[in-house]
Amino acid sequence: MARNPVQVLSQYTEDFGDTFRFYLGGLKEAIVTTNPAVIQHVLKTNAENYQKSEIQVKRMGHFLGKGLLTTHGEAWRTQRRLIQKGFDRKQLEALSAIMQDSLAESLRDFDKQIQGGPVDIYPHLMKMTFAMVARSLFGARLKDEDIDLVSHTISTVQEFIVKQTIQPYLNPWFEVSGELRRHEAMRARADSILMEYIKQRRGQEPGHDLLQTLMDARYADGEGMSDELVLSESMQLLVAGHETSSNSLSWILYLLSSRPDCLERVRQEFDSALGDAPLSHGALGRLEYTTQVIQEALRLYPPFWMIDRMAVADDRIGEIAIPRGSMVIVYVYGAHHAPRYWPDTESFDPERFTKTNAQQQAPFTYLPFGGGPRGCIGGNYAMLQILMILSDLLRKYDFQLVPGQTIEARPMVILRPKHGIRMTFTQTTARDHHAVMQQ
Ligand code: HEM
């Protein structure tokens, strides 16, 4: 189970049906479900009764303080309402320019790296997407070395939290050995760097970034957030947006590398929708097929392969009793691979997401961004980011999967490529080919 929970849970789903009880570590009762009615009940209809699990709130809260990811109830609702403004249509349009500039800079670096032969795309895409998220938050002037330090801190602390969670008996040792303190010190260093940007901004002209949204937000009584709260909310957004889009992008490139037919259609769509222009928020509606490709990749490889909650009070969903304190695991990967809802489930087929087909899909069978009030706040931002990076990479490069590698998904906090994905990139000839075809 610890080594490959996806394999085990998928087998159990096949053996015991779409909702079954399971004893985590032989002790704690968990209910695992891929049943859309149960999922809808837990994430939406009776969401008040299902809080984020203790692991998320306690362990993450220790390092991340209070914020969207680690609070619930009224405190969460108020913050969510304020922060949501940072991701509305107008704000995404404003962020596009910062995102494009950040991408152009990352691509200069990427261009150098690929000259040396095949690369593992995962760390490169992660660097690209994280720099974009970090600059969308703290503005274009955020320094490279600060981005690297914060990114490294987030990865290291996240790994430590996973260790604390799956080996809780080691926690006393982590304290004695100084490992806990070492991670706290790392976090404090990242905090102090970001706090410097917050303090500076208080005395500067307003920016067009998410930091400004957080600083301008006002509660009902007219008060704004303290610097400490702005910092912990920013850090939580950085954590939530750290590895998710890069992960999806890695799988998208992997899937496209074996489907020249889809790749050709995507390229044609970029050509006709954008020509040589950079992608802006306004062009999204013209990228229907590419959006379908992304949606299908998110179905096959949902970065959040499960969503966990804890029942606050006893509850019942039809025949299923849910005692107070039990965990409910919404098994997203299982729902996305259920043959009942997705015929020929393992095949990559973007046609599943044409407007007509998507309308026929039963609700709560497709949940890459979660569902209900606690669904992803950054979903539209992530789609913009993925499209932006894809549009540049595919117009610039041809790419091939290096043969002979084992590509496997590893379900840790998120579903990532276990051994990386190695690819060769060369300047594309596809566009010259289009030009000749069109003449
Ligand atoms: C492909 C990319 C992404 C995927 C698949 C994704 C997926 C998700 C999912 C499934 C949840 C719900 C978790 C739960 O219910 O326990 C979530 C929550 C969240 N996501 Fe994303 N996410 C992505 C990108 C981003 C980005 C780029 C940001 C920020 C810049 C972000 C910010 C958040 C935040 C703050 C929450 C917590 C919301 C709350 O509890 O109110 N996400 N995301």
Confidence (pLDDT) at 436:
47
CB 21, CB 30: distance < 8 Å: yes
> Which of 71-78's residues contact partners 24+ apart within 8 Å by CB, and which partners?
78/219
Q: Which regions of 112-245 does DSSP assign to beta strands (E)?
A: 119-120
CB 269, CB 289: distance < 8 Å: yes
Confidence (pLDDT) at 46:
97
Residue 239 Cα to ligand 1 midpoint, Å, equals: 9
Rounded Cα–Cα distance for residues 204 and 181 (Å) = 35
Mean pLDDT by 10 residues, the chain (439 residues): 79 88 76 96 96 76 85 92 93 94 95 94 95 94 92 88 78 87 92 94 90 94 95 93 92 96 96 92 93 98 93 93 93 96 96 96 96 96 96 95 89 80 88 51
Confidence (pLDDT) at 437:
47
Confidence (pLDDT) at 261:
96
**Token pair of 204 as six digits:** 């500067």
Rounded Cα–Cα distance for residues 360 and 365 (Å) = 11
The residue whose C-alpha atom lies closest to atom 36 belonging to ligand 1 is 376
User: What are φ and ψ of residue 33, in 5° steps?
Assistant: -140, 145
**Token pair of 314 as six digits:** 């006893």
Which pTM was predicted?
Answer: 0.93
Confidence (pLDDT) at 23:
79
The residue to mutate among 327, 376, 377, 381, having the most atoms of ligand 1 within 8 angstroms of its beta carbon, is 376
Q: Is the CB of 67 under 6 A from ligand 1?
A: no
Contacts (Cβ under 8 Å, ≥6 apart) of 395: 267, 270, 271, 428, 431
Residue 71 Cα to ligand 1 midpoint, Å, equals: 14
- Number of Cβ within a 10 Å radius of residue 306: 19
User: What are φ and ψ of residue 21, in 5° steps?
Assistant: -90, 155
Instruction: Tell me the Ramachandran region of residue 139: left when phi exceeds 0, alpha when psi lies from -120 to 50, beta otherwise.
Output: left
Helix, strand, or coil here: 397? strand
Catalogue all structural domains in the chain, each as residue range(s) with its CATH number.
5-107+116-438 (1.10.630.10)
